[in-house]
């Protein structure tokens, strides 16, 4: 009998102090959350997918949890500050930062959530330029 569980996905923080693997199904879609709390936690927006909590294996000693509301907590690396997880404590799944997953992820963006709280600088204009490298915008005017 094979006691090894196949790994569906792996990921890590920027410095590698926290690594994780998913040993079960991973939702194939990503939600971009624009709520005020996610924006403050990430400095932009939260792009995440989910897996059942019991399928997420976390390693490393620098993971820190912050109770961000009565219902949820968020995890980040205490060394590099990477935002990694959102845990709605009454839910059976853990939200995982899509950007922390090792490529190729096979994921796709499905929707933008909490757009009523989107930052005033955010634009959903499909006509904005897509640049494969630096923005080229330069210093303040």
Q: Note the pLDDT of residue 6.
A: 80
Kindly state the average pLDDT of the residues 66-85.
Answer: 97
Is the pTM value of this prediction over 0.85? yes
What's the pLDDT at 3?
A: 56
Is-contact 114 38, C-beta < 8 A? yes
Q: Are 15 and 80 in contact (CB under 8 A)?
A: yes
Instruction: Give 17's pLDDT tier (boundaries 50, 70, 90).
Output: very high
- Mean pLDDT of the 7-30 span: 96
* Alpha-carbon distances, residue 113 vs 8, 60, 93, 118 (angstroms): 26, 31, 18, 9
In angstroms, the CA 58 to CA 60 distance is 7
pLDDT score for 7: 87
Confidence of residue 1 (pLDDT cuts 50, 70, 90): very low
The answer to whether residues 79 and 13 touch, using CB atoms and an 8 Å cutoff, is yes
Burial of 77 (0-12, 13-18, 19+ CB in 10 A): buried
Which runs of E-coded beta strand occur in 3-82?
Answer: 9-12, 19-22, 29-33, 46-52, 56-59, 63-67, 72-77
What's the whole-number mean pLDDT along residues 83-89? 96
Q: Is 16 left (phi over 0), alpha (psi -120 to 50) or beta?
A: left
Q: Where are the domains of the chain?
A: 9-116
Structure tokens at 48: 């995440």
**Is CATH 2.170.150.70 what the domain over 9-116 is classified as, yes or no?**
yes
């Amino acid at each position: 009998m094979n006691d090894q569980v196949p790994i569906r996905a792996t990921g890590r923080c920027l410095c590698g102090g926290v690594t994780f693997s998913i040993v079960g199904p991973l939702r194939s879609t990503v939600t971009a959350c624009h709520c005020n709390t996610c924006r403050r936690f990430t400095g932009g927006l939260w792009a995440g997918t989910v897996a059942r909590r019991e399928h997420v294996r976390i390693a490393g000693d620098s993971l820190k949890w912050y109770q961000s509301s009565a219902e949820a907590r968020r995890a980040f690396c205490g060394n590099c500050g990477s935002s990694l997880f959102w845990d709605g404590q009454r839910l059976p799944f853990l939200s995982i930062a899509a950007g922390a997953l090792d490529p190729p992820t096979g994921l796709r963006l499905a929707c933008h959530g909490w757009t009523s709280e989107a930052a005033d600088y955010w634009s959903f204009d499909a006509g904005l330029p897509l640049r494969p490298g630096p923005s080229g915008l330069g210093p303040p005017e």
